[in-house]
Amino acid sequence: MIYIVRHGQTDWNLLGKCQGWADIELNETGLQQAEELAQKLADVKFDICFASPLQRAIKTAKTIYKGEIIVDDRIIERSNGELSGRTDWREQGVNFNDPNENRFNIETLPVLQKRLDSFWNEVLTKYSHQNILVVTHAGTAMWSQVYFYGLPQGNDFSQYKLKNCEFLTIDNNIKPVGF
């Protein structure tokens, strides 16, 4: 089984700031969320754990999983370019779900999809019968669901967005739809 976890809360989450690749730490609530999630998942024996290289994901992973964590750049959050750290990013009219959108130097969807495709193809090939913990971010978790299930009904991506320290499970024997 694959467990995809979004990191715990940061101060930037509270402020509505666009994070992207900014390496923002968990706040006290985020640390508590990670502890609570660790308790919920205490009975799961994970065989392997992957985390984004950003500290908010690594700290969440270390709270849940006590073994070696494999840090993998392919599951870092989508780069938000010049929108990183801004609270007015919603007003900028950027369509993050448009494959051609690259204003403000955001990472394009084809680039994000290529790295997620590489990650998930490798994980499904090498670890098909193991319990896998993947600690990542809202955007990468959302597009990972697109990889497995296809676009959400009515293109309503909010269906795929995980809250802080929320997780989803995916059968690792699933045949993904792909991008």
The per-residue pLDDT for 56 is: 98
Count of structural domains within the chain:
1
CA distance 7 to 21: 13
Residue 179 lies inside a defined structural domain of this protein: no
Residue 175 lies in a domain: no
Look up the CATH number of the domain holding residue 32.
Answer: 3.40.50.1240
With respect to residue 177, please indicate whether it lies within any of the assigned structural domains: no
Question: Is the pLDDT score of 16 beyond 90?
Answer: yes
Q: What type of residue sits at position 141?
A: A
- Coarse DSSP helix, strand, coil percentages of the chain, rounded to the nearest 5 percent: 45, 15, 45
Q: What is the pLDDT of residues 39-87, one digit of tens each?
A: 999 999 999 999 999 999 999 999 999 999 999 999 999 999 999 999 9
Q: Which of 77, 101, 107, 122 is catalytic?
A: 77
Task: Determine the Cα–Cα distance for residues 117 and 112; give it in Å rounded to an integer.
Answer: 9
Task: State which residues form the domain around 81.
Answer: 2-170
Tens of pLDDT, residue by residue over 118-168, are 999 999 999 989 999 999 999 999 999 999 999 999 999 999 999 999 999
**pLDDT value at 173 more than 90:** no
Q: How far apart are CA 34 and CA 22, in angstroms?
A: 20
Active-site residue 77, yes or no? yes
Per DSSP, the residues of 83-151 read GTT-S-GGGGT--TT-TT--GGGPPPHHHHHHHHHHHHHHHHHH-TTS-EEEEE-HHHHHHHHHHHH-S
The pLDDT of residue 134 = 98
Query: Taking the model in full, what pTM does it have?
Result: 0.96
Catalytic residue among 7, 25, 28, 91: 7
pLDDT at 102: 93
What is the C-alpha to C-alpha distance for residues 128 and 159, in angstroms, rounded to an integer? Answer: 26
